[in-house]
Structure 1
Amino acid sequence: MDTPTKTDLRAPLKSFKKIPVYVVEEHNEALQFIYSAIGGKKLPLEGTTLVHLDAHPDMLIDRKLKGEDARSGRKLLPLLQIENWIVPAAAAGHISRVVWLRPPWAKQFADGSRMIHVGDHPETGLLRVDSKEPYYLSDALYSQQLINKRKFTLTVAELSEINEEQIKNKIQNLDICEPYVLDIDLDFFSTANPFLNLYDQIKLYDQLEPIFGFNIPQVNDEKIYEEFCKSREQQLVELQELFEYLEENSDLKGYEGPKSELYHKVCDLKDVVKAEADRLGEKPDWWMIFAGGCTRDQGGLPHHISTEQEIEETVNKTLKLFLKNIPKPIMITVARSTDDGYCPPHQINFIQSLVLQIIREVYNTDEPVLHYLNTCD
Structure 2
Amino acid sequence: MNKAPVKRTYSKLPVWIVEDHHDVVPHIYRSIASRYVPMSGVKMVHLDSHPDLLIPVNMPATAVFDKERLFRVTSTDDYFLSDALYLPAEQLEDAKPLHLRVIQVDPVEMSHNSQSQNNPSTCKRLRGASKGELNKEEDRQPESNVSCTSQYQPSGGSSTPGNSTEAQNAEEGSSGAIVSNLLSLIEQNDAYILDIDLDFFSCKNPFKDMYTKEEYSILQELYSFKRPREDVDEEELLECVERRTRQLEDLEAAFADLLEDDGQETVDRLATNPGMNSLIKLVSSLKNRNQTPDYEMVHQAGLTCDYSELPHHISSEGEIQQLLLAVKLVLQSLPKPTIVTISRSSLDEYCPAEQVEAIQSRTLSVLEALFGSLDVHKEYESASEECTSQHS
Interval containing the TM-score (normalised by the shorter chain): 0.7 to 0.9
Question: 2:307 maps to which residue?
Answer: 298
Aligned with 1:102 (options 102, 105, 129): 105
Corresponding residue for residue 75 of structure 1: 69
2:220 aligned residue: 209
Would you say 1:188 and 2:200 are equivalent positions? Answer: yes
Secondary structure of 1:318's aligned partner: helix
Counterpart of 1:225?
237
User: d(CA) in 2 for partners of 1:93 and 1:58?
Assistant: 19
Among 343, 348, 362, the residue aligned to 1:340: 348
| 3-state SS in 2 of match to 1:217 | coil
Greater relative CO, 1 or 2 (CA 8 Å, sep 6+): 2
Partner of 2:376: 368
How far off is 1:337 after superposition?
0.4
Match runs of 1:135-150 below 5 Å:
148-149=142-143
Who is 1:242 aligned against? 254
Find the aligned partners of 1:155 and 1:29 in 2 and give their Cα distance.
28
* Counterpart contact for 1:108–1:298, Cα < 8 Å: no
> Residue 286 in 1 paired to residue 295 in 2?
yes
Q: Residues 25 and 339 of structure 1 are in contact (CA less than 8 Å); yes or no, is this contact kept in structure 2?
A: yes
CA offsets per residue over residues 277-326 of structure 1, 9 Å max, x none? 25xxx5322111111111112321111111112212221x2122112111
Does the 8 A contact of 1:183 with 1:332 survive in 2? yes
Provide the rounded CA distance (Å) in 2 between the counterparts of 1:99 and 1:224: 26
1:310 aligned residue: 319
2:20 to 15, 26, 48: 26
| Pair 1:39–1:154, CA change in 2 (3 A) | farther
Decide which moves more: 92-101 or 185-194.
92-101
Task: Provide structure 1 residue ranges, at least 5 long, that are not aligned to the other structure.
Answer: 1-9, 111-121, 128-147
8 Å CA contact retained: 1:101, 1:158: yes
Paired residues of 2:63 and 2:70 also in contact (CA < 8 A): yes
Alignment partner of 1:45 out of 19, 23, 39 = 39
1:123-142 aligned within 5 A: 124-125=138-139, 127=141
Specify whether residues 150 and 41 from structure 1 end up closer, same or farther in structure 2 by C-alpha distance, changes over 3 A only: farther
Match of 1:261 among 267, 274, 280: 274
* Partner AA of 2:295 in structure 1: W
In structure 2, relative to structure 1, the CA distance for the partners of 1:73 and 1:153 (3 Å cut) is farther
- Show the counterpart of 1:143: none
Letter in 2 for 1:87: L
In 1: Cα distance, 2:80 partner to 2:263 partner: 37
Give the partner amino acid of 2:332: K
User: What's the CA shift for 1:193?
Assistant: 0.5
Larger deviation, residues 337-346 vs 81-90? 81-90
1:352 counterpart = 2:363: no
Mapping of 1:161-200 within 5 angstroms? 161-162=155-156, 166-174=174-182, 175-177=184-186, 178-200=190-212
Percent of aligned positions with the same letter in both sequences?
28
1:126, distance to aligned residue in structure 2 (A): 5.9
- Residues 217 and 294 of structure 1, relative CA distance in 2, 3 Å threshold: same
Alignment partners' CA distance in 2, 1:366 and 1:104: 27
- Deviation sequence 1:231-265 (CA, Å, 0-9, x none): 11011111111112222333474589895224433
Structure 2 unaligned segments of length 5 or more: list them. Answer: 89-97, 109-115, 123-135, 158-172, 388-392
Kept in 1: contact 2:13–2:375 (CA 8 A):
no
SS class of match (1:184): strand
How many residues align? The count is 330
Closer, same or farther: CA 84–359 of 1 in aligned 2, 3 Å: same
2: CA distance between counterparts of 1:252 and 1:34? 50
Q: How does 1:56-71 map to 2 (within 5 A)?
A: 56-71=50-65
Which residue pairs with 2:163 in the alignment? none
- Post-superposition offset of 1:169: 3.2
What is the alpha-carbon root mean square deviation over aligned residues? 2.9
Distance in structure 2 (CA, Å) of the matches to 1:83 and 1:225: 23
The verdict on how the C-alpha distance between 1:334 and 1:70 changes in structure 2, with shifts beyond 3 A counting, is same
Cα deviation for residue 168 of structure 1 reads 2.8
Distance 1:162 1:96, change over 3 A: same
Query: Which amino acid in the other structure matches residue 324 of structure 1?
Result: Q
1:323-353: per-residue Cα shift (whole Å, max 9, x none)?
2111211111111001111000111101111
Which residue is equivalent to 2:287? 274
For the 8 Å contact 1:52–1:100, the answer to whether it is kept is no
Offset at residue 155 of structure 1 (A): 5.1
The separation in 1 between residues aligned to 2:177 and 2:18, in whole angstroms, is 31
> Contact (CA 8 Å) 1:45, 1:93: kept in 2 or not?
no
TM-score normalised by the chain length of structure 1 = 0.79
* AA in 1 matched with 2:303: C
User: Counterpart amino acid of 2:372?
Assistant: N
How far apart, in 2, do the equivalents of 1:85 and 1:187 lie?
16
